[in-house]
Homo-oligomer: A and B are copies of this chain.
Amino acid sequence: MTNETQNELVFLPLGGSNEVGMNLNAYGFGPEHDRKWIIVDVGVTFGDQSTPGVDVIVPDPSFLEGEEILGIVLTHAHEDHIGALGWLFDRIKAPLYATPFTAFLIREKLRDHNLAEEVELNEIALGGTVNLDPFEVTYVTITHSIAEPNGLAIKTPLGTVLHTGDWKIDDEPVVGEKTDVAAITKLGDEGVLAMVCDSTNVFVEGTAGSEGDVAKHLADLIVPLKGRVAVGCFASNVARMDSVIRAAEAAGRRVALAGRSMHRITAAAKSVGMLSDVQPFLSEEEAKIWPADKILYLCTGSQGEARAALSRVAEGTHPFIKLGQGDHCIFSSRVIPGNELPIARLQDKLADRGVKIYTERGYPGIHVSGHPCRDELRQMYAWARPKIAVPTHGQRRHLIEHGHLAKSIGIEQVVTPRNGDMVRLAPGFAEIIDEVPAGRLFVDGGILVEEQGEALRERRHAASNGMLIVAFALDRRGKMVSDIDIRSVGLPGNTDRPLEEVLDHLAERVEDTVRGLKGEALEDEIVIEQAVARTLKKASQKVWGRRPIVETVVLRL
């Protein structure tokens, strides 16, 4: 099907299509064996309790290693779009392009990874163009839940792709400009070959709502309150921060920031001239002694993160914030799936201190999503009029539903690739022409490892089943010349069945097993270790109903 010398334009998602977060998209141009690539976004996703010891997960970029990469273009500063730069840069080296706010935060990230010197980071003005021949990439201002969100118009000799990035249509974005409808319509007039588009809220009818409305709701809620007020929100949402600060000012309250990312983001925001006309924040020391009715704390930790500000407030261990009876905590945020239990526990602890809790559920105006609902998707398709719809940024369910929506409003071609599916956008009918390695890499103990790697599998097994460790010494002829030292990790006993007694019993079984071995078997440590492990696993199954990891150490003297 593929002509090997013909130029093709291909789209290749390596992250973000099939799962939430971890966006890494590549566009290739050229004949099959001589493609030039640009990368759009290099994001992380986060581990959860199913990945103990693994906090950060990044897309596997192996396919792109060794390819000719002209540039890495970042749409906006959310971690699921820029968070993997530090981890993956060495494998996909290329100049970076980002607008000023995003660039500020990337710079910090590169410093953390000691890459600041090595990386070429180019700051592009809003609406600016990057020439990466044969790609010409123009930033298109859109609206989202962060400062400086951008779509990308990617022009190539075979047509233009509108890569939406994360977006919604917000006519009152509070900070930054409105969606550049003129630019998008103009692209549509000139002809958009394909639109690669956010699928997050495809199951939600209507529209996401405006930051401007949230500002009003927050002011209405906060102004009449007595007592201390804490507001939890995503730090990266500078508009939200701005709205909270203005509500505080309207209420005669000064604002104190709690949590490292609040400071990171306000620094980035100030560097591009945002938050310039608000009263200075109180320092921690000032906040400590400021009158209750005159203060508002802007806090990290709305997702119940154990070490963030709100959790420490709830535990009563925060260095300068104490909340109690008569105080208020407003969650101007949504619940990220997977965080339901930690958030419930956090809110419960606060309620237990007498703090009144306000969430989106009881106070629907205090948060809006940053992603397009169905009416917004329809509107964007009407503006851009692409020939091809490529749903991305969502789980499989979302991509499929987004495909149905696009078809239903008359988009000619729909392709819903999985991560690793290479889509030929031109020439010809759009189709998946190849499947390349894709997957997730885990940051485990400071290094990148395979998702299916042995270390995490062993840790998970140990977490559910515990471990037995047994060691003894044998002489050359296989005679036991030491005591049998047996220990357990993570195996329970109680007064009816003390662990000591169980271990003594297991040690006897080990001794019997070794005694039962004859001749050559006794010359081979591996054979002995396997025999002992079999005995212990079987015995453990009877005692605990589970098969622990068994490490048998035979020392040969």
- A interface, CB within 8 angstroms of B: 48-50, 52-53, 203, 337-338, 340-341, 344, 347-349, 351-352, 357, 361-362, 395-397, 400, 444-449, 453, 455-456, 458-460, 462-467, 469, 471-473, 481-483, 485, 487, 489-494, 496-497, 543-546, 549, 551, 553, 555-557
Contact = CB atoms under 8 A, between A and B. Distances in A.
18 contacts: A50-B341, A52-B463, A53-B464, A337-B341, A348-B396, A444-B492, A445-B546, A453-B492, A455-B490, A455-B493, A462-B467, A462-B489, A471-B471, A471-B553, A482-B555, A482-B556, A485-B553, A487-B553
Contacts of A492: 444-445, 447, 449, 453, 455-456
A555 to B, nearest CB: 4
Given A344-B395, A395-B348, A489 B467 contact: yes
Contact of A397 (B357, B489, B496): B357
A490 B462 contact: yes
A160 to B, nearest CB: 31
A114 to B, nearest CB: 15
A444 B466 CA distance: 11
Given A53-B463, A341-B337, A448-B494, A203 B395 contact: no
Contacts of A349: 396
A243 B501 CA distance: 54
B557 A481 contact: yes
Contacts of A458: 466, 489-490
A549 B466 CA distance: 12
B463 A459 contact: yes
A491 B445 contact: yes
A544 B459 CA distance: 14
A341 B48 contact: yes
A483 B469 CA distance: 18
Contact of A553 (B448, B469, B546): B469
A551 B341 contact: no
A54 B247 CA distance: 46
Contacts of A490: 53, 455-456, 458-459, 462
